A and B are shown apart, each in its own frame.
Chain A
Amino acid sequence: MADQKQIAFTIDGRPVTTTAGTLVIEAAKTQGIEVPSFCYYPGLSLQAACRMCLVEVEKMPKLQTACTLVATDGMVVKTSTDQVHKARKDMIEFLLSNHPLDCPVCDKGGECELQDMTFRYGLDKTRFVEEKLHTPEQKWSPLVYYDAPRCILCFRCVRVCDEGMDVKALGVGSRGVLSVILPNKPDELACEECGMCIDICPVGALTSGTYRYQTRPWEMTYVGNPCAHCSNGCKTTLSVRNNEILRANNRDHSGINGEFLCAKGRFGYDFTSNAERIRQPLVRRNGKLEPASWEDALEEVARRLKQAHVGRGPAAIGVIGSNHTTNEENYLLNRFARVTLGTNNLDHHRTADYAGLAAALGSRAKDSLATMADVYNAPAVLLIGNDVTQQNPLVAWQIRTGVRHHGLKLYAINSLPSKIHRQAKIAVEVAKGGEHQALRWLASEHGQFDVKTTEALVQLKAALEAEKDVVVLFGADIQGAAIRDLVSLAARFGGKTKFMALGDYANSRGAADMGILPDRLPGYAHLSDSAERARFGKLWGGEISATPGLTARAMMEAAAAGKLNALYVVGANPLKTFGVAQPDRLAGLELLIVHDMFLTETAQRADVVLPAASTYEKDGSLTNTAGEVQLTHRSIDPQGPRSDFDLLRILSHQLSMLGLGTPIRLRTPEAAFDEIRQNVAGYDLAYANLLAGGSELARATSKAPEAAYDVPVGTIFSSQDYLFTSGTLGRYCSRLTSTNEAKQIPWTSSPSTQSWWQR
């Protein structure tokens, strides 16, 4: 890194020792001294525009801006002199001269930096008696509104959009006191709708279309939760009033995402209150799904599962789990399937080969898994087969920020076009599915490419071999043997290489870690491992068969072929996911049970639908694609639906009374998480940090690296969700889908994803 020389100077008489190059405003923070500012924003380019941070420096005739002043040896800085106080007062007075004092109706009232600064540093009277400038408010998109008179022109929004997001949807119009922020199209934003500009706005100039004029900030409670959508696990702060989520934003920056949130994390919370939400159990009677009481519905499920079990035996029962239910729920589902129902036909829609990575790394996984912070800190990142801008927005943010802050070098091998390639030193574009071939060429120079690609690969190889401490990111197409090739290639890089498999959904990683797989137990122990089978069998009060079960796709095929008798689906929509949407594909089933929030294609075909609570309505933990575990909280009451955790627990009691399995005695997700921490490899995590809102990296391991194995084609694949889609859940996020951008094909999408927004 940069010069680590230490320098000593004083602020308000206090001696400070700090690294050479430190800005005075930052050094002051370390002393608990606030130097107020609007335009200064750590991590973005310097402006020195707002002049709020003026401080006195001995031997300098004029006041200096602490946000651009680099501390030097022997410097004497004073932040609390009469001159400084007067300057702050004067700046606030200037700022308020044209600022409308509509605080009583301004969304920002109560959490406005200008309000706070006026309270602390401002004048107690108004001397401005001229007419204020006024222009009408503008709607730039259904999600972003701009009120120019409130704007103090700190240019944070312009910078975060340009520097942070690399979108540059905002600019500055006119000049002088008439200056305004401009959207990139007349009166309209055409952008990623991340809403970062709203979050970063210190005043009420940029407001959220979903939140504006709804409430006052002090009327709400705030709950920090991992986002319900993609696999990156950003923390989003839900603002709740009267059991309703009114806003999601990122004001405390305490999550792994720092200040980042994308459109899904910020605006994609309204599925919780979607009118199509199922609030009551549904039981099929006379061919029609009809509302039923919980008692009747659960009794029906237990009775019919028992029937199926007795009828064609456990091998004809399949269980499909979810990639957005909690770890605790998946853990319970594993026990429910393997012990209560006695079947290894257990799987979920796998969107990255986490098991393959665990197998390839073996015990090396302990220090070879990259966190989101590692992506930012890495000197170099190798990205393979993923459009991170669209599919993994936080990963993309981390890369962009790393490039900007410390010259992170990005290398990419991609069959998907991606905006992130603008940041790449070398981006090798390959044909669909060509990533593995390219890896093989890099590892062993086997394979044929056209001249252009070959040249790019030669360059890439040389560049990578000169790098050290590389973070390797790869998408769904790198699976099985390709991961083995990747890991052996990475052995040639210098330093410590770390890996991250990029999956699709909020708990894609957790589902795999918890063993929602036909051949693996929680912690990736293979079913052939008799000791592990025995351990979990003992824990769960039953025997676990050593024979691997069917994959999810195979279960669907078996169902179609009449080889499966009953299918138990938790939080998944396999009819849609596995491309077998024709209704008769499930004709061979005698029983279909579905837990879900909505009447999905699969739920519509069910015999019993149990309404499930969403991620934002229950306690538990989620594991992001990096393996970082975070707690999710019940921020609102689900009003009707129950958590999958409760449903499985209650059913285990009912089934045990019918002679199937033993009742699950884990009464709460916390209790289940304790059991996970004690029994699942890699999950021995520090709970205190999680309780405090932090994240802990789960380093799921298998004991020794295993021979690579190829999973059947079609088992692991990405849904290729984009910024405005989120699997089945995304369809119920009406705000997310309300923007023009959501209705257009994004500029980076490949032809194969032309109808992505309809998903």
Chain B
Amino acid sequence: MQLPPPLETKFNELAGRYPVKRSALIPMMLYAQDHLGSLGDEILEEIAKRLGLNFIEVEETLAYYSMLRRKPAGRNHIQVCTNISCMLRGGNELYKHVQKRLGIGHKEVSASGTFSLEEVECIGACTGAPAMQVNYDFYEDLDPDKVDAIFEQLQEGKKPKPSAVTAGSLHDRLPAEVPVISKRFGIPNAHKIDVYRKHEGYQALEKALTMTPDQIIDEVKKSNLRGRGGAGFPTGMKWSFVPKDTSKPNNIHANADESEPGTCKDRPLMEMDPHQLIEGMVIAGRAVGSHQGYIYIRGEYRYIIDIMDAAIAEAYARSYLGKNILGSGFDFDLVTHTGAGAYECGEESALMESLEGKRGYPRIRPPFPAVVGLYGCPTVINNAETLNTIPAIILKGGDWYSSLGTPRNGGTRLYSISGHVNRPGIYELPLGFPLRRLIEEVAGGVRGGKKLKAVIPGGSSCPLLSAGEIDIAMDYDSVAKAGSMLGSGGTVVMDEDTCMVDVARRIMHFYAHESCGWCIPCREGTAWLRKMLDRFHEGGGREEDIPLIDELSKNMLGRTFCPLGDAAALPTISIVKKWRNEFEDHLHGKCAYNAAELIAGVH
């Protein structure tokens, strides 16, 4: 098949990017789709041929990823997020408005082919909710008027200006904030290497190149840095698990498949400070004896991938990447890799499968990635934010970093606060910062003077806290003690008018949509609960459904292959437990939120 020249160039570049050809499969499909509008048999056969795969291997991989499509979309593919943060700020109404305006429904294409519409899961614009994407462009802080203005321009064939940066990431520093990894936010052109270098950039790497690997790991251990993806595993310890005597090449893997609803911290980090991640990864490579890094970025963040790629090219040009870095004799190569729409790929082993060009199914553990990871080689996989902290730790010392937080919970982290607050945004705060102050002081309190009802502390997979439970410190241990999780730092605030049945319903929709289908309890449990919560919320509930929702969630809990089942179960269990009265009210036709109706066409 004759490919358009830019695609041919891209394919050739992708084919040479990975040690195993199949890894190019998902990027090839996504880029081909961008050029051709959809993935027909011909292009898939071409890709299969180039990668030496059977057609079925291509087809089944395609079928897994929600961004990849066999049928053409419109020239402007409108993707409206209705996940929890957007829903709380009018995402459903916005979606309905768009439906009406375009006259098409979910996954439909307008007659002219100008538009297609899709209701999508969290796109990582939670602090700019409600938000949508037109193709790869983000539009945030929307209302029907803004949307109409955007569509008018699109109809005229113009490209409306996308939101400049991740909404909520630029603001005057609050006294409570401790900018460490976000310190370059707002500095013009901080994503350029010269600006980065002017602001302490790559000094940590220079220092690290004079240290031994063990010294680097010790410094990270001293920092009490814990994984920022959600599980909070001590980073230094994770690095020390990599076998020293293996003959296989090690990999450093940045997990930037940010997709936990309520979370949008990696996006501004990579958007405004891409070199910080690069620097962190080279240092990590030095620490564990790795010479190859991969940054797995969710497919929706295409502009971020372009920013990262440009930064990587700059770093190569200045010898911060590549052979013999800064004359030290240390080699490190780094590439980005695009996802294509799958929350499950944020799970570390599923992410590796995905990077190997397969369906994003999690792997059986043990063996753990530190021993058998990507391509069967030892792999350190860290959340992008975690790796962003490394330069500061090396430059200023683990003790310094640790002292910013609380004992066992070193440093600072980015909180993306969304929902019913006056100042949704991205704030860097020390570990252990009080949740009440986070909501009332940092985020400006609940919008419209309303009362607080519930808080998701760290992404939608965490058990919800009620208004009476917010006097806790935001560190891993304290939040766990309160029965929830610090998670990914995606704090979602809900006011008194929020229908908690609707919240449970929306959360379950997400996990049912993102369940990979590998194991029975998650596959069937999330789908069952989704249907039941839909029915319940619509007014078709039965008294016996309330304990059944609770029990089915508990039947998934702890029994699924990967943590996705727990992620679906935990918030649901907490909602049934803490807001059982709202379920009972529903049985009598009462709903705390007047817009309590099912969104048609939802997944």
Contacts and interface: CB of A to CB of B under 8 A. Distances in A.
Interface of A: 46-52, 54, 62-63, 68, 87, 90-91, 93-95, 97-98, 127-128, 130-131, 133, 152-153, 168-179, 182-185
A169 B57 CA distance: 9
A63 B560 CA distance: 10
Interface centre among A131, A133, A172 (most CB of B within 10 A): A172
B57 A175 contact: no
Nearest to B65: A175
Contacts of A51: 519-521, 559-561
A184 B531 contact: no
Given A130-B531, A130-B535, A173-B63, 7 more contacts: A48-B561, A50-B519, A62-B559, A90-B559, A94-B525, A172-B517, A176-B523
A134 to B, nearest CB: 13
Interface stretch (B16-24, B508-516, B579-587): B508-516
A130 B517 contact: no
Given A63-B558, A90-B555, A94-B555, A128 B528 contact: yes
Contact of B512 (A46, A127, A176, A182): A176
B524 A177 contact: yes
Contact of A130 (B515, B518, B520, B528): B528
Contacts of A52: 520
Contacts of B512: 176-177
Contacts of B342: 175
Contacts of A131: 531
A177 B527 contact: yes
Contacts of B317: none
Contact of B520 (A49, A172, A182): A49
A184 B513 contact: no
B55 interface: yes
Q: Which of A52, A127, A170, A171 has the most CB atoms of chain B within a 10 A radius of its CB?
A: A171
B384 to A, nearest CB: 24
A168 B56 contact: yes
Contacts of A95: 520, 524
Given A51-B519, A91-B520, A95-B524, A176 B514 contact: yes
16 contacts: A54-B559, A90-B521, A91-B520, A91-B521, A97-B524, A130-B532, A130-B535, A133-B527, A170-B56, A174-B64, A177-B512, A177-B515, A177-B523, A182-B56, A182-B63, A184-B54
Nearest to A94: B524
B543 interface: no
B399 interface: no
Nearest to A173: B63
B59 A177 contact: no
B359 interface: yes
B526 A169 contact: no
Given A171-B56, A171-B60, A178 B535 contact: no
Nearest to A45: B364
Contacts of A68: 364
A464 to B, nearest CB: 28
A610 B524 CA distance: 61
A671 to B, nearest CB: 54
B174 interface: no
Contacts of A50: 519-520
Contacts of A49: 518-520, 561
A176 B516 contact: yes
Contacts of B528: 94, 97, 128, 130
B314 to A, nearest CB: 37
A176 B63 contact: no
Interface in B352-376: 359, 364
Interface of B: 54-57, 59-60, 63-64, 66, 342, 359, 364, 512-521, 523-528, 531-532, 535, 548, 555, 558-561
Contacts of B523: 94, 153, 176-177, 179
A26 to B, nearest CB: 16
Residue with the highest number of chain B CB atoms closer than 10 Å, among A68, A175, A182: A175
A427 to B, nearest CB: 18
A67 to B, nearest CB: 9
Given A49-B561, A54-B559, A175 B516 contact: yes
A153 B361 CA distance: 13
B520 A94 contact: yes
B380 to A, nearest CB: 24
B357 to A, nearest CB: 13
Contacts of A169: 56
A259 B316 CA distance: 55
A176 B60 contact: no
B46 to A, nearest CB: 17
Given A62-B558, A94-B525, A176-B526, A168 B54 contact: yes
Contacts of A183: 56
Contact of A184 (B56, B64, B525): B56
B517 A176 contact: yes
B189 to A, nearest CB: 40
A98 B527 contact: yes
A36 to B, nearest CB: 12
A87 B56 CA distance: 35
Nearest to A179: B517
B519 A48 contact: yes
A114 to B, nearest CB: 11
Contacts of A62: 558-559
User: Of A49, A90, A177, which is in contact with the most chain B CB atoms at under 10 Å from its CB?
Assistant: A177
A90 B515 CA distance: 18
A178 B517 contact: yes
A-B interface, 6 closest residue pairs, ranked by CB to CB distance from nearest: A171-B60, A179-B517, A177-B527, A94-B524, A130-B531, A184-B56
Nearest to A99: B524
Contact of A182 (B60, B513, B532): B60
Contacts of B560: 51
B519 to A, nearest CB: 5
Contacts of B517: 153, 172, 174-179
Given A68-B364, A179-B517, A168 B59 contact: no
B537 to A, nearest CB: 13
Given A46-B364, A98-B524, A173 B60 contact: yes
Contacts of B559: 51, 54, 62-63, 87, 90-91
B515 A175 contact: yes
Residue among B63, B512, B514, B520 facing the most chain A CB atoms (10 A cut-off): B520
Nearest to A158: B60
A79 to B, nearest CB: 15
Most buried by A among B60, B526, B555: B60
Nearest to A127: B548
A46 B518 CA distance: 12
